[in-house]
Amino acid sequence: MKTIDYRSDTLTEPTEAMRDAMRDAAVGDDQYGEDPTANQLEELAAQKLSKEAGLFTPSGMMANLAALMTHAQRGDSVILDDQQHIFTSEAGSVSSIAGLLPRLVQSENGVMDPGDVEFVMKNAYPPVTVVCSENTHNMSGGTVITPGELGALAEVVHSCGAKLHLDGARIFNAAVALDIDASEIAAEVDSVMFCLSKGLSAPVGSVLVGDADFISQARKVRKMLGGAMRQAGVLAAAGIVALDDMVDRLEEDHRNARRLAEGIVGLGVFEVDLDTVQTDMVNVDGASRGWSAERMVKELKALGILVNGRPPSRVRMVVNRHHSETDIDETLNRVASLM
């Protein structure tokens, strides 16, 4: 029985074009600013998001951390929603390394109420110098935040003298879902981190973009974090292919995620909030069946379907380019056997 693995879009493997580009990449020492391919990737990323400059990092977590440490000083407060990856899944680096005090607000599928944010900003001590948003919003099932919603948040953040950073690990999924250019989303925020290594299929890396001064300071922070690289062009080459060739096809992942979600709802075995199925993720809930997340992971694994648990009762399924419509239908057949 073929294993169908929906644990993450990070499982995507580099394409043949990426492997060719990596082998042929022109390289130099990136710490001397002499890697032409890394420089090209940073310029391309900045251009795609209409920002002045970019910084290639080994991971999205490092890019988020570098952004926070550049926008804020140790001892400042940072506003996050309580389901954001930076808070839930980055090993506490926001506090233990950046030295920031998280001020948590609730969000509705990743959208924070600007009034709630303003209240915290006006009353918090130490002062809030940076606010983070996440688009798409992973914990909510890959939900999309519109430029209008981000713009309303940016207005209160800026009026209180703080900066708005976007964890845009999947900003291109958001842009494809909204059928807009990713730069329209980026225009509302001061800095954006996005991942090359998720649905875009590059093996390693993220890019942080923002204005030239910010990126120049973030470059120093990346070095403080041990993230400065040498012949980084070998990795950046795959990133360039990811940006050039892999963005538009995300639509196919979104279509397959929808097919999977509607199929599961149709079977009536588990519940899915179809309103949240906007990109490549499907959060499946076993509560109506009395199943815990742990049990769902186990029972689905026995059917050759791998998923990540979202306790207490949900699992996350992420569709990526290695899944065909046939895989989706095969998944539904196997889930049907639980009826």
Ligand X SMILES: Cc1ncc(COP(=O)(O)O)c(C=O)c1O
Footprint of ligand X (CB under 6 A) = 10, 59-61, 85, 134, 138, 167, 169, 195, 197, 206
Kindly list the distances between the CA atom of residue 104 and the CA atoms of 14, 249, 266, in Å, as whole numbers in the listed order: 36, 35, 37
Smallest separation (angstroms) from ligand X to the CB of 135: 9
Nearer to ligand X, 10 or 292 (CB): 10
Q: Which residues of 72-107 are buried (b: 16+ CB within 10 A; e: fewer)?
A: beeebbbbbbebbbbbeebeebbeebbebbbbebeb
Of the candidates 89, 47, 16, the one whose C-alpha atom is nearest the C-alpha of residue 207 is 47
CB 143 to ligand X: min, Å: 12
Angle between helices 233-245 and 36-48 (to 10 degrees): 30
Minimum CB separation of residue 12 from ligand X in Å reads: 12
For ligand X, which is the closer residue by CB, 38 or 160? 38
Nearer Cβ to ligand X, position 266 or 311?
311
Q: How far is the CB of 207 from ligand X (least distance, A)?
A: 11
Q: In terms of DSSP H, where are the helices of 127-170? A: 147-159
CB 9, min distance to ligand X, A: 8
Q: Is the peptide bond before 312 cis (omega within 30 degrees of 0)?
A: yes
Q: Smaller CB distance to ligand X: residue 196 or 296?
A: 196
CB nearer to ligand X: pick between 71 and 160: 71
Residue 105 to residue 178: CA distance in whole angstroms: 25
Minimum CB distance to ligand X, residue 206 (Å): 5
Least Å distance, CB 21 to ligand X, is 20
Closest residue to ligand X: CB criterion? 60
Tell me the C-alpha distance between 38 and 208, whole Å: 13
Indicate the residue among 293 and 318 with the shorter CB distance to ligand X. Answer: 318
Nearer to ligand X, 109 or 138 (CB): 138
Is residue 50 within 8 Å of residue 43, measured between CB atoms?
A: no
φ, ψ (nearest 5 deg) of residue 167: -80, 95
Q: What length does the chain have? A: 339
